[in-house]
Structure formats: structure tokens, C-alpha cells
Structure 1
């Protein structure tokens, strides 16, 4: 069974309270996904294209293609520097082929669904993998290979069984067609579990090389009037510029951890590093020592910053 976030938080706090030490950060987890979007007809809106595709490393965009520029381009400086020109040429040709495939198949689905051709319809594909760094080994953990039509699940690949799953009747003809070629399903399974992980590890190493000389996490504390009540203050601990993304942030009162009232989750910065915020609500007249404790693998010891009065 999966442990809930609340249970994990309680466990962490119990460890802290029992021996006074901060729990260690979990193993590094990384992801590489590609998202393709095809429309049934052009839309006269800025930034919306009949076909577009992007690569995402740990939720940060690393490359991009659209049906207007028709070139696969880097979105990170380290991608521009590390990947040779032939990588971008091959990638451009691959994206052009997928653009053509989407243009054909979105209309096949419209006919199969008996949808009006004058309406706008959307076909999407998300494919990629996730892996964990365990010691010096980079190991596959999960993958996703799924198609959606007009925002609904249409078809997905079960990598354990090496076959396609059709949640709707309209997807059954495609499932039968693709499952009738087992060698292609085995190739898909191999790509998701091995080749995708190899690319993920390569991109991660290139990004790490660029980020290796960056500063440890920057910790910023601030307080402002709360929207909840006129006599309340919101104390916020913002941690930014850290990589990898696994970080532990605990807000304490008089050295005792408290449960935050607001948490943004870990979010990517434009340079491939990460940021997050945690906040607590207090009464303005309250007099206590609040601090923020940050633990990260780049630090020799935790950062402990205090709020002023």
C-alpha cells in the first residue's frame, strides 16, 4: 500500500523529536517525458499550433517543435552546448514524421467517433520513463505511454504485459492492430525500460555538469499580513536554486516542528534548478522563536534560519 503524505510527515517528525536529528533525503528520482499535441484544424490563437511537441526533463522543458517553425530546438543552454547538430537534424525529421502521423490519425478518430469535422478535436500522446539513482546505479522505476482524445483516456501501453489497453470501444481497432505485431510491442517495452532511461541518465548528467558549480539552496524568510484574519501573520520559508529536487524543509516553533498551512510543492526554475515554499499562520501578538530548517544533499549540515520578531 502507498503511504499517505500526512503519515510520512508524522513519521519524519517522530524521528526528529526522538533523537533530535534530521531525517535523510530520499533517493533521487528523475523523469523524461515527451508530449505531442495535434489539432484537427488550425486555431487562430497566439502560441497555439496545429501540431506541437516538447521534451520534459524533471518537468523542465528541454526541447520544442511546432508546425509553424518545423524545427526541433533546444530550450536549455546545456542542451544547445552538449547535443551535436545531427541530433537536432534527426530530431527535426522525427518530429515532422510524427506531425504527419497526427494529421492523419486525428481525422481517422473523428470519423470513427462520427464527430463533426467543423468542430475542433485534439489528439495527444505522452510517452516517457522515470528512474531512481540508487548509489551509483540508475534504475528504471516506471513508464507511461498513453494517448488521449479530446481530453479523455483513449489508449495506453501496459509495459509489464507488453500489450495495449483500450478503455473505450473506439480504441479497440487500434489495440488489435498494434497487438497483432508482437515484435513492435517488445520494441516499445525495450525503449521505455532501457533506451528512454539511457537518454534520461545522459540528459541528467549533462544538466548536473552545468549545475554542479551553482550555490547551495538559498533560503529566504519573510512575513506578511494574512488574508485569513487582520490579526494573523503568514510566515513563509522560500528555498530556491537547489538541485537535485529532493529537499527537506521543516518549520519549527521553539525547536519543535509544526505542520505548515501552505505548501507549493517542488517546482522547476528556468535554469533547471528547483524551488519551493512553505508557510504557517500565526497570531500577530504571538511571541515565539520560529525558524526554518533546510536539509539537502549539497549541504554539509542543515541550514537553520530564524524569523525576526
Structure 2
């Protein structure tokens, strides 16, 4: 079976912004080693809910959410399962793709955000095979197609104005209220700041020099390579921020430079890291390089990510599908106190359930 996990290193899991509640539903079609439908719920990019079509059961993934009514959530996710499978079949038919042709993914992502200035926004998007597909415009109460094939699906969705109105209410009111409630559960821990541990790594003299930061929280971090205190852009590759198994994050930035130039005056070049958890900027030089384990530079990036499987699979696929837009990024958060969800909250989820078919 074909694996999609190999795409892990290209996924933008670093989210910027104040506070965000987001749900990701992914339908995978073809010979893949993941469930056909997966779903996750995230608050500030911290997963609190998981569902897949193998178990057909919603599960809490964080302590504060365990008091929720999971039978109700399971019912909602099962309805989404049938809904999005049907959407996938319809879209494949629009693209004239046979049921056995290749691997395809449909992503539905919706949620809301509260910005630092108190303003809010809601989002509801479809992606197909790594490309934008359809976006909901809650102000105009219609859908925007990203391409010709999406026009056919858009017209079907536009014809149901009551569902569009329900979606608008959910995004502007219900979702925001729920996000505020979840934020209140975490108020005692929102100030958590853990500085990064930084290493300079190189597999061999012909490999790029990699500045690797790990173990930091929150996820927002700024890493640059500099020459004579001037930021470099040429021959520099900035990698995505990735999650560690313990809930912290890691990031790397690589510099491709001839060894003789680095060795001639290694202190001319430096890696500069800025993070809210560090009292001052962290500076590392190529002279600090570590080559004690030549495999270290490669496996240190992948192992922590693989440790979070299988429940991160839905996030992985979802981010692959939507990574081009980068518009729905959420901030990292901290631990949460335990809370509960009312029947009214669960009913509001059904509003979103009814707008995507």
C-alpha cells in the first residue's frame, strides 16, 4: 500500500496568530495506509479530538475535553463520514477520475480565530489533491470556486441558502463562543514559555550546515543565518516547524556553503535564534558544529514526528492539502483544565455538518 507519511517533512505545522479553533476532515481515496476518513479538532493547534472511519468513534485526545459528550460527537462525525465520502465521489466524477485511479485527498477545514486586537474571523474551505478547491464567503453567503471543476460543486452548494446562513451563524457566533470557553480552560497555562535547545549539525563536509532548535514552546520562533551580522537569503533553506512527541516543537534552517569558506573564518557566519522563552537571542557558530553521530542530522528531524502517529495523520494530510494558502494557521497553546460541552454546543456542530453536503 502506498504511504502518505513520507510527506511529513513538508508539512507546515507551525501556526501563527492569537487563538484558533479548527476542525479538519480528510477523505483519502486509493491505495493508502490510512483510514478512508479521518478527523481532528484543534485548539491553538493542540489536538483535542480524533475520529476515523476504521473505528467510527470520536475520541478525546487531551485531558480537559474528556468530560465532553463523545457519543454525540461520534454521531456528528459519522454523518460527516458519509457526507464527505459522497462529496469525494462527486468531485472525482467531475474530474473524470476512475475509482481505482491513483491516490486522491479531499480536505474540509472550518473554524474560527480571535486575533490579538479582538477582531474575529471564520473560515470554511475545501481542498482537493493539494490545491484550493472551494472557499465559503460568509459575508456574501456563497462559495468561491478555485477552478473550473469546482464551479460544478459550487453551484450545488450555492443553491442551498439556508445551509449557508447556518454556516455563517456558526462561524461568527457559535464557534467564537466555544473558542472563548476553551481559552478559559487554559488561562492558567497560557504564559508557558520554554526556550529552545540549539545545535549546529552537519552529516559530512559536503552537506549543508544545519542550525537545529528543539524542545521550544510556544511554536513561534525566528531563525536566521547571518554573515557579518547581515541576514542571508541565498543558499539558505528554512524548514517547517514540526511537533515533538512531548508537545514541544523543533525547527531547522540550513546553510549550503563550501567547507573551505566556513573553515577559513567560521565566526563570520552565525545562526541567530529569537524565541519568547529565551531572555536574549541565541547565537551559534559553525565552529560549534556536531559530527559525533553522522546520522544525527537526519533522524533528529523525523523521529519525534513519527512518534505522534497515528493520530497526527489527519493533520498531516490536511496540512498537505491546504499548505499553499497558509491562511488558516493557528497559534500553539498550552495545557488545559478540564471542562465540559453542553447539548447546545453539540447542536451547533450539526450546523456545520449540514452545510457541506
SS of 2:283's partner is strand
SS of 1:219's partner is strand
Contact between 2:94 and 2:149, CA under 8 Å: does it hold in 1?
no
Q: Which has the higher strand share?
A: 1
RMSD: 3.8
Provide the rounded CA distance (Å) in 2 between the counterparts of 1:140 and 1:96.
Answer: 29
Deviations 1:122-171 (A, max 9, x none): 5724222463642xx553356242254x6666543223312123444675
Provide the rounded CA distance (Å) in 1 between the counterparts of 2:138 and 2:31.
Answer: 38
Unaligned runs of 5+ in 1: 1-26, 229-233
SS of 1:308's partner is helix
**Number of the residue aligned with 1:5:** none
SS of 1:102's partner is helix
Provide the rounded CA distance (Å) in 1 between the counterparts of 2:251 and 2:104.
Answer: 33
Provide the rounded CA distance (Å) in 2 between the counterparts of 1:140 and 1:98.
Answer: 26
Q: Select the structure of larger CA radius of gyration.
A: 1
Q: How does 1:42-191 map to 2 (within 5 A)?
A: 46=33, 48-56=34-42, 61-75=47-61, 79=62, 81-107=63-89, 124-129=106-111, 131=113, 133-134=115-116, 137-141=117-121, 143-146=123-126, 148=128, 155-166=134-145, 167-168=147-148, 171-172=151-152, 175-191=154-170
Q: Whose relative contact order is higher, 1 or 2, with alpha carbons under 8 Å and at least 6 apart? A: 2
**Number of the residue aligned with 1:283:** 259
- Cα distance, 1:238 vs structure 2: 1.3
For these two proteins, the number of residue pairs brought into alignment is: 267
Q: 1:156 to 1:255 in 2, by over 3 A?
A: closer
**Number of the residue aligned with 1:247:** 221
Contact between 1:39 and 1:51, CA under 8 Å: does it hold in 2?
yes
Unaligned runs of 5+ in 2: 1-15, 289-357
- Cα distance, 1:45 vs structure 2: 5.3
Contact between 1:36 and 1:126, CA under 8 Å: does it hold in 2?
yes
User: Which range is displaced more, 281-290 or 163-172?
Assistant: 163-172
Q: 1:146 to 1:225 in 2, by over 3 A?
A: same
Provide the rounded CA distance (Å) in 1 between the counterparts of 2:258 and 2:199.
Answer: 18
SS of 2:119's partner is strand
Provide the rounded CA distance (Å) in 2 between the counterparts of 1:179 and 1:93.
Answer: 26
Provide the rounded CA distance (Å) in 1 between the counterparts of 2:23 and 2:202.
Answer: 39
